[in-house]
Each structure stands twice: as C-alpha cells, then as structure tokens.
C-alpha cells in the first residue's frame, strides 16, 4: 500500500548531507562547499526543519480527518532554549546527523552551540510551558501552544565590577530557521474606542468601535514528539503593520505622525517583561495579554467553524489551559465573540465559556495576584469591562442568596475590588469562570485551598485540583547528559525510560553495584571537566574537578535565599581562615557556583549579585584558602547554561523559606541527573524526598505550617553567634561596599523582622551542609545516593503531569498516528 511515509526525506548519511548542502546553497545562498560553523548550523537546522514539516503536515491532516478535542495551552511565556539537538533527538536521527556532519568536516556539538536560546520566558513558569509542549507531542495529544513572538527575549546579563547589567536580547538578529511565517494567518486585535448600545428587534446589541486596531500575524514553530510522528505546533503572534490608517488620524492631515503612532502600536509584541512574580500594572503588558488571547481565540473559533455550523459542540472540541491568570481576559474575549459576533445569548455564551477554560495558579504571595486598575480596562477594553461587570453582577447575585449579609465575604469574593482606586481582580474572574483551577505541587495545592483561594474553595471544592509539575527527560537527560543516559539505557537494558520515566526504578537493583558506581562517577566527572573548562574561559579560574561542585542556579529572589547560601560560604571561609594547617587538610574542597538574573528593578536581588562577587573576589584570591573553597558566579544563566551545569553538579541548593516556592522544577532536573539536593521542606523538595527517601537528600529547617508562628516570634529572636559574626563582617566592609550592602543586612537584622527567616534557619542549614561534607568523603556511599536519586525520579516527568491534566482536567484522548 502507498504510505505517506514513503515520500519522507531519507535519513541515510548521504541524503542528510545532500539536504544540508542544498540548504547552504539555495536557502542561505552560500557556496555548496564553503560555509562556516554558523552557516553549517543554519543549513542543518533548515534540513531538520524539512523533516519536522513533513511530520507537522501529517499530524495536521490526521487532525483534520479525525477532528478530535484539542488542547490549547495559552501562555505569555515559552522558555524554549535551543531546538537543534532536541529536534534530532526526538525524531531519532542524532547519530545520522552527527555522522553526516562529520564527513562534511563539522562537529555536531559545535554546531549546536551556534544557536541562540529562544528565551521567551522568565523562569519556571515559562520553562514548564516548554516541557509541557514536549510531553504533549510525545504522548500524541492533539495540542497547540499559543504565545507571543517577542523580538526581545529575556535580557542578557553581564557583570561589571560585580554589578548586573541588562542588555536587550535581540535574538532574531541572525534569523530564526525554526519558524514559519504564515502571512495569510492574521487577525485584527482591537483596543480603546467606545461601545454603542443598539435596540434591535427587542434585543440590545452592543457595537464596539475601536480606537486602535493592530494586526496579529502567526509564526509557527513545529514541536516534534519523541518516538512518534506527532508534531505539534507552537503558534506565536507578532504585531505587524496593517497598512491601514485610522480615519481620525488621517483627518488631522499629519500623515507622517499618523504612521509613526501606528508604528508604536505595533511594538506590542516586541519585548518580554522581565519581572517574574510581580505584575506591574502597565498598560503595554495588558495589551500584550489581550493581543495573545484575542488572536488565539479568533484562530480557534475559525478552525472550529471549519467543521461545525453552530457552537453546541464547542466544549467537546476545545480545551483552553491558562498559564496563570495572564491570559484570563480570554474569558471576556470569548464572551464578546459569542455574544457580539456570533449573536448567541448570554446564557448560552456563558455556558460554553465556563466549560472550556481552566487555569493554573503558580503564585504564593497574594501580592503576585494580578489586578488591573478599572480605569485602565475602561479605557483600553470598554466592551470587555461591560462583560466583566455583568459576570460579576450575576455572580454577586448568586452569592447574596448564599451569604446574605456577610458583606465582608461578599467584598472578598467580588471580581471588582472597591476602594479609592478600583481594580479588577483577575484571579477572582478566573475562579468564577474556569471549571478547574490547579496548584502545582501538593503543598501549593494545600495552600491555595486553605488560604489563597479559601473563599472559593469553601463554595466550589470540586473546582480544585493538584497537578505537581515535572520536567521533560528528553531535554534534561537525553540531550543534556547523553553519556549518563547511555549508561542508564545500558544498565536497564532498554531506552523505554525516555517515554516511561518510572522505569528508572530499575536502577535501584544496581545502586550498590561497584561497576555501575564506577561508570556512573566517571561520567559525572567528565561532565564536571566540561564545566570546569567553561569556568576557566569565563573567569580564568582553574577549579579542581575533584572538589565538590555545589550549585545554586535560578532567578535571584529574596525568598529563594541565595543570601543564605552566601552567608554559609562566608562562614566556611571564616572557619578555614581560623584553622590550623592540620585541620585544613580535613576540609572537603568545594567549588560554589551561583547563577541567575535579578529582576531589573529589584534592588536587593541586585545587591545579592554584587555580594556574591565581592565575596568571590576575596576568597578566590586568598592563599590561605587555595583549592578548599572557590566561589564562581556564572553570568547570563539561561536554559543552555542549565544544560551544561546541571549534569556537572554534585549538590544543588533549593533554599526557599518553607511555604514560599509554589513548586520548583530545577530541583527535579538536578535530582534526575544524580545530583544530591540540599533544600528546605518547601514545594517539590518535599515530594522529591517522598520518592527518594530522606537518606538520599539533605532537607533541613521548619515545615511550611511552622512558619507563621516563627514569624511572630521574630521580635524576640536572637540568631546564633556565627550568623551575627558573618553579618558583622559584611557590615564592617570585609568585602568592601559596606554601605551598598547595608539595606541587605537590614533585611535580616534590622528591625528584627527577617521575613524570610535566614537567621532562624541558619543552624540547621549548617548541619545539613556538615552532613553533605561527611557524605561526600564516602565515595561509595555517595555514588549509591547519586544513583538512587536518579532512580527515584520517575514521578517528575512532565509526561506524568500531562497525563493527569489530559485525563482529569481536559478530558482529551491521545490521537496516535498509525
Ligand atoms: C514563575 O516562574 C513562577 C510563578 C509565578 O507566579 C511567576 C513566574 Cl514567572 C506568578 C514559578 C514558581 O515560582 C515556581 O515555584 C514553579 O515551579 C513554576 O512557576 C512553575 O509552576
């Protein structure tokens, strides 16, 4: 029988080479036989894209044939990183590409490094979206991601004199071979203007005349699954010049200024906001949210209408997952489309809307909950605000019946926050309109039920679900740690763990086997050498590969307590200084590695970065210390840097004050690569411990439920001498910059609040670190712990997470290609 697959590009060495060379000549217009590493990367990427497009098209045909229920993942952030290696690993042609390139005189590993990261996200939330896409594709779900094609991704960080500098990340500078522009897939997105109420045969209709219209154009990014033909789509929207001028700007006669102001409107999608976890209330940010949501909904509605003549089946065909409340304005937008454009009545529209949306909450701090000033909405989205008012009106009516005179409760529930300046509470809108809200770890789930959204949970407990985050083992093991992955496959006798991570459990059988231990530690050591070479390039420092690599990489935040890590390092330094030569011989040598970006306006986070550098300068150059302790800051931490650092880490630190990290996903990446975890009893640290056993981790400090009381006791709390001594050293200027560090020191010993409880947790932190030193010396036991760490990580694949979403929230089935 004729099969589509027969027409596919062939994957033998010669076919791949021909394809690459052709792209070099015909796509890049370079000579067939003279191109440099960067051009070779581009030509290779185009040849891989050809293969992705074949699969993408087949997937698309299958979808059109079967018309299954589809999942649309709406997110302001997709932190994708690089695509080349991930794509060839997923479609199973890495070996062939490596060979083909080698014969052409290129090294795949070097070409891979030519690619710029697609850094369209801040951190955990955006990277989770990227891991989700990989799992959705791999598990054959009919899914699409929708996001924004920012021209400037997450800022590039450099360090000058120890201070963070931010540079624009114009990542599209040299083109992006992965994307496909869809010049004909465009939608108008409307802003401002006014709404007219018209009486039309006994029915009120609303006509919104916008003051500004911006055109959204689609860019498609194929996402291949692993071990399947299923290739899903990440559709990113860019604002584009529409060629039309608004009439009133025309009539001013100022043509040039009219064009210029239009051009400003078209910068909507140009830049990612780099502040994670704090909303800023900026109009441009709200416009971005509307832009994403409106273009995506128009696209989904158009696709649905290709197959259906009315909206009755919409909830059976469509599921929208909202990544936090950022896209929640979509509720009002869908209502607007159904009411004003499709002419459905309110009841029908509301019934449909409330069946298709579900949202994930990622926040702990109530301050992180988005609120938009009413004035802003009124001006920017007059029709949406009317709809939100009406949603709130019906909701409040229902609540009054329930709670009657409990006005305090009613005002907490209301979507509109009353007060001098009124706000729209986006989380309340989400809870009223979504059929499900989920937390991202067990502890976070408990927290949203009992505290953050308690009022809503009291009413609608059935809406609440827990979906513990995960990470994809394809990128975080197979791509970034190929040698360890091969070793695992060899010992398990199968590579099925790449699709069924639970199979890692099989390693437990061999954790004690001397041969595995030796091979395991050898791979880890060669990963450490790779990192050491990189460290030497960026800092000139020569680090000892046999020292313990102690890593903390993540966004810089007070709650994540990089400061606690630094205080611990200073304490260690101080101890070494005060030791006899004899005692120094017993010290376990450490290379402390930190990396991460501070939000540009967050002064204390920036002070922490400066402190790390100041302390590093001091101890790295102290002959008394030598190899016993080094402190390295890796600038511009991003996905690709994580892929280098994680496989080379002996321990990693996850120190958030208990009850402050919603989940945390970095810890999972480390643990599955055999890196041991030093952490607090917070977020997913606790769940990882349940799987690995406490004997294979170093958890310390109080549990989340103890924190409120500890905070009230702060007034009478006196930290231990060692802690005060370190803070004293910083204050006295041992690391220079005494004045600059003062506000930071004030947060922990100022008016006695120490909100994140560094002083309180310090002694137990030191105990955990002492236990780490002791364990590291016992090489055999360490190797066993490392293997057991990997073996216990089966739960932390996004494959598990996505299956849970699919079965318990979206109610969708996989659609497998034959
Ligand atoms: C973010 O990365 C996270 C939460 C946010 O709350 C915003 C951003 Cl940009 C609005 C993180 C959480 O801090 C982290 O604990 C969690 O693992 C991650 O989202 C994915 O759920």
Q: What is the pLDDT of residues 680-694, one digit of tens each?
A: 999 999 999 999 999
Confidence of residue 5 (pLDDT cuts 50, 70, 90): low
Query: Tell me: the pLDDT tens digits for 222-281?
Result: 999 999 999 999 999 999 877 676 655 556 678 888 888 788 878 999 999 998 777 777
Pocket lining: 124 vs ligand 1, CB cutoff 6 Å:
yes
Answer yes or no: is the C-beta of 324 below 6 A from any ligand 1 atom: yes
Range with the lowest mean pLDDT among 265-269, 305-309, 422-426, 515-519? 265-269
Is residue 741 a contact partner of residue 735, using CB atoms and an 8 Å limit? yes
The protein residue with its alpha carbon nearest to ligand 1, atom 3, reads 125
Interval between CA 662 and ligand 1 midpoint (Å): 7
pLDDT at 380: 98
Q: pLDDT tens digit string along 440-455?
A: 999 999 999 999 999 9
Q: How far is the CA of 276 from the centre of ligand 1 (A)?
A: 8
469 Cβ below 6 A of ligand 1:
yes
pLDDT band (50, 70, 90) for residue 557? very high
Looking at every residue in the chain, the average pLDDT score rounds to 95
Taking the centre of ligand 1 as the mean of its atom positions, its distance from the CA of residue 360, in whole angstroms, is: 10
362 in active site: yes
The residue whose CA is least distant from atom 19 of ligand 1 is 125
Residue 678 φ then ψ, to 5° = -105, 120
CA of 363 to the centre of ligand 1 (A): 6
Quick check: is 665 catalytic?
Answer: yes
Model confidence at 1, pLDDT cuts 50, 70, 90, reads very low
Ordered by where they begin, the domains of the chain are 1-66+83-116 (no CATH), 67-82+117-150+164-363+377-468+804-810 (3.40.50.2000), 473-703+762-796 (3.40.50.2000)
In this prediction, residues 193-221 reach a mean pLDDT of 93
How would you classify the pairing of strands 676-681 and 698-703?
parallel
Does residue 404 have a pLDDT over 50?
yes
Q: Does position 817 have pLDDT exceeding 90, yes or no?
A: no
Closest atom of ligand 1 relative to the 444 alpha carbon: 15
CA nearest to 228, candidates 131, 46, 128, 92: 92
ipTM passes above 0.95: yes
Q: Which atom of ligand 1 is nearest to the CA of 440?
A: 21
Kindly report, residue by residue over 75-118, the tens digit of the pLDDT.
999 999 999 999 999 999 999 999 999 999 999 999 999 999 99
pLDDT 10s digits, 283-314: 999 999 999 999 999 999 999 999 999 999 99
Catalytic (active site) residue 560: yes
- Does the Cβ of 136 fall within 6 Å of ligand 1? no
Q: Residue 123 above 90 pLDDT?
A: yes
57-66 own/partner pairs: CB under 8 Å, 24+ apart: 58/4, 58/229, 58/231, 58/817, 59/229, 59/230, 59/231, 59/232, 59/817, 62/815, 62/817, 63/142, 63/815, 66/815
Q: Which atom of ligand 1 is nearest to the CA of 662?
A: 15
669 catalytically annotated: yes
In short, whether 438's Cβ falls inside 6 Å of ligand 1 is no
- Give nearest CA residue, ligand 1 atom 20: 125
Cβ of 125 below 6 Å from ligand 1 = yes
pLDDT 10s digits, 457-513 = 999 999 999 999 999 999 999 999 999 999 999 999 999 999 999 999 999 999 999
pLDDT at residue 150 is higher than 50: yes
Q: Which of 55, 70, 82, 362 is catalytic?
A: 362
Ligand 1 pocket, mutate which of 362, 659, 665 (most atoms under 8 A from CB): 362
What's the average model confidence in pLDDT over 540-546? 97
Cβ of 663 closer than 6 Å to ligand 1, yes or no, is yes
Annotation says 630 is catalytic: no
How far apart CA 388 and CA 376 sit, in angstroms, is 14
Helix H, strand E, coil C: the string for 266-309 is: CCCCCECCCCCCCCCCCHHHHHHHHHHHHHHHHHHHHHHHCCCC
pLDDT digits (tens, 9 = 90+) for 41-78: 999 999 999 999 999 999 999 999 999 999 999 999 99
Q: What is the widest separation between alpha-carbon atoms in the chain? A: 96
Q: How would you write 71-133 as a 3-class SS string?
A: EEEECCCEEEECCHHHHHHHCCCHHHHHHHHHHHCCCHHHHHCCCCCEEECCCHHHHHHHHHH
How many angstroms is it from 150 CA to the middle of ligand 1? Answer: 20
Contact 447, 368 (CB under 8 A): no
Q: pLDDT, tens digit, for every residue of 620-662? A: 999 999 999 999 999 999 999 999 999 999 999 999 999 999 9
* Pocket flag, ligand 1, residue 682 (CB < 6 Å): no
Instruction: Return the ligand 1 atom nearest residue 126 CA.
Output: 2
Q: Is the CB of 128 under 6 A from ligand 1?
A: yes
Q: Say how many residues make up the chain.
A: 818
Kindly report the protein residue whose alpha carbon is nearest to atom 4 of ligand 1. Answer: 362
- Mutating to test ligand 1, I would choose from 277, 553, 683 the residue with most ligand atoms within 8 A of its C-beta, which is 277
Residue with more model confidence, 242 or 537: 537
CA distance 86 to 83: 5
Q: How many angstroms does the Cα of residue 668 sit away from the middle of ligand 1?
A: 14
Kindly state if the Cβ of 661 falls inside 6 Å of ligand 1: yes
360 CA closest ligand 1 atom index: 21
- Determine the pLDDT at residue 275: 85
Given the residues 555, 590, 630, 681, select the one marked as catalytic: 555
Query: What phi and psi values does residue 396 have, to the nearest 5 degrees?
Result: -65, -35
CA 144 – ligand 1 centroid, Å: 21
| DSSP-H helix ranges across 493-628 | 514-539, 562-577, 581-584, 603-620
Q: What is the mean pLDDT of residues 749-762?
A: 89
C-alpha 774 to ligand 1 mean position (Å):
34
Q: List Cβ neighbours of 170 (8 Å cut-off, separation of 6 or more).
A: 151, 152
CB 206 within 8 A of CB 195: yes
SS3 track for 453-475? CHHHHHHCHHHEEECCCCECHHH
- Identify the active-site residue in 69, 524, 554, 607: 554
């Amino acid at each position: 029988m004729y099969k589509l697959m027969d027409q596919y590009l062939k994957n033998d060495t010669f076919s791949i080479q021909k394809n690459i060379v052709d792209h070099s000549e015909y796509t890049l217009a370079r000579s067939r036989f003279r191109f440099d590493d960067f051009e070779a990367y581009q030509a290779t990427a185009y040849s891989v894209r050809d293969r992705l497009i074949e699969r993408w098209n087949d997937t698309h045909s299958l979808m059109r044939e079967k018309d299954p229920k589809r999942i649309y993942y709406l997110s302001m952030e997709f932190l994708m990183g690089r695509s080349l290696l991930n794509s060839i690993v997923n479609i199973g042609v890495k070996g062939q590409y490596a060979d083909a390139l080698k014969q052409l005189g290129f090294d795949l590993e070097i070409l891979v490094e030519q690619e710029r990261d697609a850094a369209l996200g801040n951190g955990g939330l955006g990277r989770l979206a990227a891991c989700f896409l990989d799992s959705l594709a791999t598990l054959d779900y009919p899914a699409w991601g929708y996001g924004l094609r920012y021209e400037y991704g997450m800022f590039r960080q450099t360090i000058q004199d120890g201070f963070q500098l931010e540079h624009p990340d114009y990542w599209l500078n040299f083109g992006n071979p992965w994307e496909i522009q869809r010049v004909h897939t465009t939608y108008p997105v409307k802003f401002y203007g006014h709404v007219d109420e018209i009486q039309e045969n006994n029915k009120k209709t609303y006509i919104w005349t916008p003051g500004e219209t911006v055109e959204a154009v689609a860019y498609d990014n194929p996402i291949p699954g692993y071990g399947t033909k299923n290739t899903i789509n990440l559709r990113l929207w860019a604002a584009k010049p529409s060629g039309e001028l608004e009439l009133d700007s025309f009539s001013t006669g100022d043509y040039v200024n009219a064009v210029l102001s239009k051009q400003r409107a078209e910068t909507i999608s140009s830049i990612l906001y780099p502040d994670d976890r704090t909303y800023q209330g900026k109009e441009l940010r709200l416009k971005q949210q509307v832009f994403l949501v409106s273009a995506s909904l128009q696209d989904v509605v158009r696709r649905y209408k290709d197959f259906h003549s009315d909206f009755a089946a919409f909830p059976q065909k469509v599921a929208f997952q909202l990544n936090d409340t950022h896209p929640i304005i979509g509720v009002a937008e869908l209502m607007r489309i159904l009411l004003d454009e499709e002419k459905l009545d309110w009841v029908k529209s509301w019934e449909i809307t409330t069946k298709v949306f579900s949202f994930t909450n990622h926040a702990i701090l109530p301050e992180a909950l988005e609120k938009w000033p009413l004035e802003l909405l009124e001006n920017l989205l007059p029709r949406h605000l009317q709809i939100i008012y009406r949603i709130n009106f019906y909701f409040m009516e229902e609540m009054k019946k329930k709670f009657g005179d409990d006005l305090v409760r009613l005002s907490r529930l209301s979507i509109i926050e009353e007060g001098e300046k009124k706000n729209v509470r986006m989380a309340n809108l989400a809870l009223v309109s979504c059929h499900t809200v989920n937390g991202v770890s067990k502890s976070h789930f408990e927290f949203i039920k009992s505290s953050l959204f308690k009022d809503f949970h009291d009413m609608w407990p059935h809406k609440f679900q827990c979906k513990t985050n995960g990470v994809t083992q394809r990128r975080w093991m197979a791509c970034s740690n190929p040698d360890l992955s091969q070793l695992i496959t060899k010992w398990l006798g199968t590579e099925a763990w790449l699709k069924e991570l639970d199979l890692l459990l099989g390693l437990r059988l061999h954790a004690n086997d001397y041969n595995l231990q030796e091979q395991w530690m050898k791979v880890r050591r060669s990963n450490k050498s790779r990192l050491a070479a990189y460290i030497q390039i960026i800092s000139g420092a020569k680090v000892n590969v046999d020292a313990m690599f102690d890593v903390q990489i993540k966004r810089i935040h007070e709650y994540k307590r990089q400061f606690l890590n630094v205080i611990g390092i200073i304490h260690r330094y101080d101890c070494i200084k005060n030791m006899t030569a004899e005692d120094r011989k017993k010290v376990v040598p450490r290379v402390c590695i930190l990396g991460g970006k501070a939000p540009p306006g967050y002064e204390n986070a920036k002070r922490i970065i400066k402190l790390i550098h100041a302390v590093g300068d001091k101890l790295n150059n102290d002959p008394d210390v030598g190899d016993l302790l080094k402190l390295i800051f890796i600038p511009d931490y991003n996905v690709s840097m994580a892929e280098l650092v994680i496989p080379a880490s002996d321990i990693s630190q996850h120190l958030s004050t208990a009850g402050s990290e919603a989940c945390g996903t970095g810890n999972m990446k480390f643990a599955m690569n055999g890196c041991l975890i030093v952490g607090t009893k917070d977020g997913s640290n606790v769940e990882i411990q349940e799987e690995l056993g406490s004997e294979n981790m170093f958890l310390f400090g109080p549990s989340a439920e103890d924190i409120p009381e500890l905070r009230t006791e702060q007034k009478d709390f006196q930290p231990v001498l060692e802690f005060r001594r370190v803070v004293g050293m910083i204050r006295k200027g041992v690391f220079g910059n005494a004045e600059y560090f003062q506000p930071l020191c004030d947060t922990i010993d100022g008016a006695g609040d120490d909100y994140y409880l560094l002083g309180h947790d310090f002694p137990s932190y030191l105990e955990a670190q002492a236990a780490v030193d002791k364990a590291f010396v016992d090489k055999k036991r360490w190797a066993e712990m490392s293997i057991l760490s990997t073996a216990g990580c089966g739960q932390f694949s996004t494959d598990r997470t996505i299956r849970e979403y699919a079965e318990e929230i979206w109610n969708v089935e996989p659609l497998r290609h034959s």
